Structures are given as C-alpha cells and as structure tokens.
A = this chain, B = another copy of it.
Amino acid sequence: MFCWLSRLFRGLSRPTRRTTQLIWGSFSRSLVLSSQRRIPELSSFVARTNTCGELRSSYLGQEVTLCGWIQYRRQNIFLVLRDFHGLVQVIIPQDEKMPTGEIEIKVKTAKLLNSCKKLPFEIKDFVKKTEALRLRYRYLDLRGVQMQYNLRLRSQMVMKMREYLCNLHGFVDIETPTLFKRTPGGAKEFVIPSREPGKFYSLPQSPQQFKQLLMVGGLDRYFQVARCYRDEGSRPDRQPEFTQIDIEMSFVEQTGIQSLIEGLLQYSWPSDKDPVVVPFPSMTFAEALASYGTDKPDTRFGMKIVDISDMFRNTKVGFLQDALSKPQGTIKAICIPEGEKYLKRKDIESIRKFAADHFNQEVLPIFLKTSNNWNSPVAKFIMEEQGLGLIRLLETQEEDVVLLTAGEHKKACSLLGKLRLECADLLEARGVVLRDPALFSFLWVVDFPLFFPKEENPEELEAAHHPFTAPHPSDIHLLYTEPQKVRSQHYDLVLNGSEIGGGSIRIHDAELQHYILATVLKEDVKLLSHLLQALDYGAPPHGGIAIGLDRLTCLVTGAPSIRDVIAFPKSFQGHDLMSNAPDSIPPEELKPYHIQVSWPTDSETEKSSLNHPCHPES
C-alpha cells in the first residue's frame, strides 16, 4: 500500500501552489461498480466515505464524500485533493466539461473547512529544507510521504510484534514505572524533584530491575514497548527519550531468547521487504573483534581482517619485528577489492593520517600490480613466499589494495575495523555497490566478557553490560580467581553493522549476585537491596532482551536518522524546536519542589566551554 502511495506522490510533476486549503466535499460520479469494504476501515466513524488515495476506476459512478487538503487548484474548476492516503482529481462542473483521466470526481457540494496561510515549505519530499526548519514546523513535515510511511510502518511493525508476543506466545504486556530511584552508577539518569525536600525520582534507562522482579513475581513471560530515558547531553543520533521492545522470560536459556527474537522479526517484518531468513548467524565477541575489529560487524560485505603474523615471523622489517616481539603483538591486514582503481592517493594519505592521529598506528598500503610486483614502501622487504602467502590468506587479486598494520591485537583490529568501513564508504561514493540496500544482514554476537577493566583505573573491573548478567557456565570457576577472563551469557543482535538489541541470561542466585556486586564490582549493595532480597525468595532462572525500536525502524525504512522515525524528536542539543522545550520556569513554581537554580558564575561558564568537545584542547 505504501509503496504505491509513494509512487503516486512522486509521479506528480505538475507545479503546485504553496497555499493549501482544506476542503470537505460530497461528490458524485456516473457509474457504479464496486463497494466492498476494506480492512482496516479507514473511513469508519467520520463524515467521508472514502480516502483520497483509495479510489480506482472500479468505483466509477459512486457518490463519495472526501475530506482533504487542496494540493493544486486551477481556476476553481480543477482540484487535486490530498490526504494521508493519496491524491485524487476533482472537477467542479462548469456547463459541459468532459472528464479526463482514469477517474475524476464531479463535485456536487463542497465546503471549505479551514483556510491555510502561506506554508514555510511545500509539502513535497523532493523540496529541500534544513532539518531545523523541518523540526520547527514538524506538524507540516509530518504531512510528507516519507514521514507518513515511516510512522505508519513503525506502528504496523509494533502491532505485528504484539500479535506475535501476546497472541501467539502468551506474553503479558506489563507497564513498569518511569518514576523510579537512581540506580548505582546511574550518572545518565534524569532526576525529578519530588515535593519532599531533597528527595528525587529518577527516569530509568530501562525497566531492567522491574522486568527481573516480574519474573520473581511469577509473571513468566513479560514484554513492554517501554519508554526509556538517557541524559547524555548533546550527542548526534541519540535521543534523551527512546523506545525499546523489552522482553523477559522465566526458565529460559540463551538459545530460547534467540529463537524468540528470530521469530519475532520474521513475523513483524514488512511485507514490502525481502523476508527475514532464520536462524541468524552467530559469532563470538572474540571472532567479531578479530575479523571485523568491532562487536557490531557489518556482515553485508567481506574485506575481513586477516592475521598475517605467521608470514612475518622472520621478517627483516624493523617495525614489524618490533610489533611481533611485544605481548599480544600481531600483524593484520585487510584487502580492498579493486582498491587501486577506486582509491586515490589522497584517500590513502588520509587513511594513514587517521591511523596515526586516532590510533597512533602505522598503516602500510600495498598495491598489488601482479603477483610479483608489489608497489609499497615495504615491497623490497617482502620475500616471494611472503607475497604468495599474503595473496593466499587475503585472497587478493590484481588491482586490489592491501592495508597492513602491526601492533597489539585489539588495537590493530579496531583500527582495521574502522578503515574497513571507511574504505567501504569511499568505494560506494565511487559507484561500487558493496552493501545492497535491500539486504538485511542479522548477526548474533555472543560470549562477551563479563567484565572490562575500568578505563580510568585498569586494576578495577566494571560490568561489560550490567551487573545482573550471568556468567558463562563454563567459566564460573574463574569468577573467584581470574574474573577478567570470565565470559558472560550476554548476546547482542546486530543488523547491518548497527547494534539493534542486547540481552542476557540473568543471575538468579542471590549469593552470586551479592558476590559480583560487592566483591568484584565494589558497588554499594544497599541501593539494590530490594533486588537481592527478591532473588532470595525463590527467583526462577530467567533472561531477556531489549530491541531498540527507533534504530530498528530507522534501518528498516532506510531513514537517514532516527529523528525520521520519531514523530516529535529532540534536536542534537535535546531541544524541541517546535515548542521550545526545555524552557525557563518562574522560581515560585520550583518552590513546591524545594529546589533552586544554581546560576553558573562567569568563570564556570568559561571553564565549561573549555571542556566542550568542539574546543581544540579537548
């Protein structure tokens, strides 16, 4: 339905006036053919009999009532009427005028419902406008075909998900509170002053604690399309409030959650896209890092990272020798197909500069002319068997470019992972189709570490995801001796290189949970005493997942930003440009909440601008 809509709108090439008027008319035609009802019924309960987009020649002769906006008007004789569903031609009879087009509507009565001021921009998707203007007049922007498609598709996908979860698999849709208390380490949680002096609610980042408590409460299969909140200040493509499909099950293992989600996406996938193929492939965290340099690999294309350390064990090249002699020292490479044809000298220069600036790493480009003719700064040090080995390992062909780096495993992989994506963008900018826009490449990433060393103090550990994640059953013995080596029962769902979901089997044993919180993570367990207590009262084994609905819809619709799949998003800076939120409040309205504004002094303002990421010092 929506594809058709989009074609119709785009096919309209007549010039259109900027002023749109709203009209409600009763129209008659001269032949009757069909009147069967459609489901969903889009004209129930209202004055119209049909939507503008619905009419076809099979309706010829019927009397219809339409409501819509005037998209185009000529001499009050000819109108094009528009609603969310499409456009239709309307003729206001003038003596004897012949009908034109497949169908058109002969006006019997027409009523002007509202007038319209000159619009700040035309309601046409091809009309270029800044995002700021679109957000300021969001109520006009929403009339566009693409925004209508995005929001309606989102609604339909969520509805199908609900059918799958509730009707097919007995999940219970349960609403959990958003006025909660701060969680340990919840530095990104908005605070809400209450009427009790010094007491604050907090907007939770997810219903994590509540969903686990529901399992303790015997609810067995819970889901919620949950509003979540995260205060990260200004970050592009993040929203202070966002939505996740939040799921938790009792008596489940990792494979159960994975099958559930595969079925969920398959069931809810839009019918105008290629069907989802299940099961999704799976990859360990270690493998993802080694082959793609990231925990969210874009598996739509190759160019995988290859470890070529073994080729160079006896190398004479100084920096390669150096790298290999260090702990975790490796030599890695990626191969860019036809790189010589598509990458320019300045691309290679900017790749090397990026590696030096952001990773403090050297990257060597190798242009493969013929199998024995290496064009590279290190060409003269590469022996023939090394060259042949490289060709075999990297499956290089003539005109390919190899990017080689040497260094600590994780760092070398991360760098090449970034360069892999960078080169893919460069190649696509030059017309190579690497990532088919119709392809949706799902991937499970599993066996994450349970803890990471803290960045600011690597002697201490922090939870890789959250402190409720269960350790991998095979690694549980390491928890008390080498906790940094313990893998977790966490799993991420990746789509086309974006993380769209993540979850885990949770700890259901109070003692284990207490040990991890207090001894490993050194958290204040008092803040979580209710959860620890709940686990002590016969908590069932349980696990779950959350799918990021905004990101998922964005990928499915191909929208350039998550702001295009949200009706009223905030700007980069967290502002509502239409209503001007957040806004000032008179001090007396803060009194009931026992708070006052601490206005920053001039020196503080200066200091904070020094810390701003745009400042060269940062």
**Chain B residue contacts of A42, Cβ below 8 A:** 169-170, 220-221
Residue A218 at the chain B interface, CB threshold 8 Å: yes
Q: Which one of B192, B227, B581 lies within 8 Å of A227 (CB-CB)? A: B227
Q: Quick check: which of A195-203, A288-296, A430-438 contacts chain B, the rest being far away?
A: A195-203
Q: Which one of B84, B114, B214 lies within 8 Å of A509 (CB-CB)? A: B114
The 19 sampled A-B contact pairs (Cβ below 8 Å) are A42-B221, A44-B260, A46-B251, A47-B251, A47-B252, A67-B540, A83-B218, A113-B251, A113-B541, A139-B216, A175-B227, A177-B241, A179-B240, A180-B581, A195-B233, A197-B598, A198-B585, A200-B582, A217-B567
**Chain B residue contacts of A69, Cβ below 8 A:** 218, 538, 540
A116 and B199 in contact (CB under 8 A), knowing A182-B585, A241-B178, A568-B176?
no
**B227 and A181: CB pair below 8 A?**
no
Residue A141 at the chain B interface, CB threshold 8 Å: yes
**B581 and A46: CB pair below 8 A?**
no
- Cα A256 to Cα B65 in complex, Å, equals 15
Copies of this chain in the oligomer: 2
**A568 and B198: CB pair below 8 A?**
no
**A583 and B181: CB pair below 8 A?**
yes
Q: Which one of B119, B155, B169, B541 lies within 8 Å of A174 (CB-CB)? A: B155
The 8 closest A-B pairs by CB, nearest first: A142-B217, A116-B538, A181-B581, A40-B170, A45-B256, A199-B582, A42-B170, A67-B251
Residue A243 at the chain B interface, CB threshold 8 Å: yes
**Chain B residue contacts of A233, Cβ below 8 A:** 195
Question: What bracket does the count of chain A residues touching chain B fall in?
Answer: 35 or more
Residue A158 at the chain B interface, CB threshold 8 Å: yes
Identify the A interface with B (CB < 8 A).
20-22, 24, 39-42, 44-48, 67, 69, 83-84, 113-117, 119, 137-143, 147-148, 151-152, 155-156, 158-159, 162-163, 166-182, 187, 190-203, 209-210, 213-214, 216-221, 227, 229, 231, 233, 240-241, 243, 249-253, 256-257, 259-260, 508-509, 530, 534-541, 566-568, 570, 574, 576, 578-585, 589-591, 593-600
- Cα A593 to Cα B581 in complex, Å, equals 15
**B40 and A167: CB pair below 8 A?**
yes
Nearest CB of B to A425, in Å: 32
**A175 and B22: CB pair below 8 A?**
no
Known A139-B213, A191-B593; 17 more pairs at CB < 8 Å? A39-B167, A40-B167, A44-B169, A44-B260, A67-B540, A114-B541, A116-B537, A139-B214, A140-B216, A152-B172, A156-B166, A158-B173, A181-B582, A191-B589, A195-B233, A199-B583, A200-B584
**A567 and B175: CB pair below 8 A?**
yes
**A200 and B166: CB pair below 8 A?**
no
Nearest CB of B to A449, in Å: 26
